[in-house]
Amino acid sequence: SLDRIRNASLRDKVMSAEQAAEFVKNGMNLAITGFTGAGYPKALPTAIANKAKAAHERGEAFSIGMVTGASTAPECDGVLAEANAVHFRSPFQSDPTLRNNINAGRTAYQDMHLSHVEQQMRQGFYGEFDIAIIEASGITEEGHIIPAMGIGHGVEAIKCAKHVIVEVNAAQNAGLEGMHDVYGEVGLPPHRKPIPLVGAFDRIGTPYIECAADKIVAIVLTNGGDRNSKFADPDDVSIRIAAQIIDFLDHEVKAGRLPKSLLPLQSGVGNVANAVMAGLLDAPFEDLTGYTEVLQDGMLDLILAGKMKHASATALSFSPDALQRFNDNIEFLRDKLILRPMEISNNPEIIRRLGIIGMNAMIEADIYGNVNSTHVMGTKMMNGIGGSGDFTRNGFFSFYVSPSTAKGGAISSIVPMVSHHDHTEHDVMFIVTEQGMADLRGKSPKQRAKLIIENCSHPDYRDMLRDYYDRALAVSEKAGGIHTPHILLEALSWHQRFVETGDMRIK
């Protein structure tokens, strides 16, 4: 697979992952590509993890700081976490071992909006980056890097790191070349200009990432697939959630408030998000478009079915079957898919301009429409906010979806007060569970509470929520402030009860 490196002089830099890992020293700060199981390095993390394990056996310290695009995979985050080799991690993860290290206090984790990552790297908020590790599908004659299934923060990683290690992965389809649109001119204030993207499918950059040859210290050849997890077939709950969103959008089209092609769609990760996309296959819309961060099976199938004209993302995250469909149809897809840096896919300026319809999953919402996407019972990190905030704050519509209960009914996803705030009542426009939908636009907190309790909560919890709300109204009236009624000492008691008894319901 040396022929993937078309620049002959760079072939001299090819070495084993173990040799390349020698550049990585204890305490270094690394920018490593990877976005929701796509575009992460396949070989170096294991080589670094082995170095860490050997050092730890000798009684020496060894750990790295690590900033990625988003989540990676067992052979990246997983192996490094397992070797206890990560002292700092940002901005999004979903690996069980790493999550345990974060929740056990072994890894410091900064969870933040993905649209902020590159500007904060550029500005030096993370300190200096010693090394960038980039997955590529090839290198051009000029020595430019052709990314693989995701770009994420790769452009900025190369710009700001002192040295670059490239993993050239021959398992990635060579036909990816040309699908990327690399725009790296966002810059820093006060010298910023408008980003010249006015349509979801505009091309504004180059199909490769420029990298000075002398920055590249090592190239490692790999031949392995991405994470490619399988999706569950949409279950009854996901199908009911999806159907309500589609009905609502259809209603808006019929009322003349949305075009028949809707507005560009963003969809979060997970089974419900995928079910919404699957539901759109049979919906009465035409020429749909996507402007999202992760593009999963559902959007791919909309494109292959001719329902969606084109889509833009920062990463392609497919199940094994969908990857096969992608590879089989890459010529057809070439002018229908664009991969961009996440600073562009998640850019507030563009999301606002295009009027994105954002759909993301949540852990819980409260009766006023505040949403928690990240923390279980207020303290335990799940994955992170990812790009959900970028799309919620700036989208034209922002939907939050969840089953109305979790853990077999022991947890209500609708609670008196969220145990952690990620998206505030000021941003969230729709809450949808399998029970129903609450349209929160143009509503006061008390109007919202009625809608969320009556439409979205599970019947097992509805009377408890009504009771809380009625008493909160009385208590807050006495206290002289009923704009957002609460009984402060009771507002989080449902979570406390779950922590103590394993159930939010009163026995």
Q: Summarize as ranges the residues that interact with ligand 0RQ (CB under 6 A).
A: 36, 70, 92, 114, 268-270, 272, 293-294, 360-364, 373, 376, 382-383, 385-388, 403, 406-407, 411, 413
Nearer to ligand 0RQ by C-beta: 307 or 495? 495
C-beta of 162: minimal distance to ligand 0RQ in Å? 27
Nearer to ligand 0RQ by C-beta: 71 or 169? 71
How far apart CA 322 and CA 328 sit, in angstroms, is 10
Nearer to ligand 0RQ by C-beta: 45 or 389? 389
Count the alpha carbons within 13 Å of 366 in the hemisphere toward its beta carbon.
Answer: 26
Query: What is the CA angle 266-303-437, rounded to 5?
Result: 40
Q: Do the Cβ atoms of 165 and 20 come closer than 8 Å?
A: yes
How far apart CA 281 and CA 165 sit, in angstroms, is 41
Nearest residue to ligand 0RQ on Cβ basis: 386
**Could you tell me the two tokens for 305?**
């079915």
Q: Do the Cβ atoms of 286 and 309 come closer than 8 Å?
A: no
Residue 283: count of CB within 10 angstroms of its CB: 20
C-beta of 185: minimal distance to ligand 0RQ in Å? 24
**Could you tell me the two tokens for 54?**
């050997």
How far apart CA 350 and CA 202 sit, in angstroms, is 11
Query: Which residue's structure tokens are 């082995």?
Result: 50
Active-site residue identified among 135, 156, 293, 343: 293
Does residue 142 have an active-site annotation?
no
Residue 409 makes CB contacts below 8 A (sequence gap 6+) with 458, 460, 505
DSSP annotation of 229 reads P
Backbone phi, psi, residue 249, to 5° = -65, -40
Nearer to ligand 0RQ by C-beta: 101 or 405? 405
Residue 505 makes CB contacts below 8 A (sequence gap 6+) with 409, 410, 460, 461, 464
CA distances from 270 to 114, 319, 370 (A): 18, 12, 21
C-beta of 413: minimal distance to ligand 0RQ in Å? 5
Nearer to ligand 0RQ by C-beta: 181 or 364? 364
C-beta of 5: minimal distance to ligand 0RQ in Å? 30
C-beta of 232: minimal distance to ligand 0RQ in Å? 9
Tell whether the torsion through CA atoms of 408, 410, 415 and 420 is positive or negative: negative
DSSP annotation of 259 reads -
Nearer to ligand 0RQ by C-beta: 147 or 387? 387
C-beta of 9: minimal distance to ligand 0RQ in Å? 36
Would you name the residues annotated as active-site residues?
A: 293
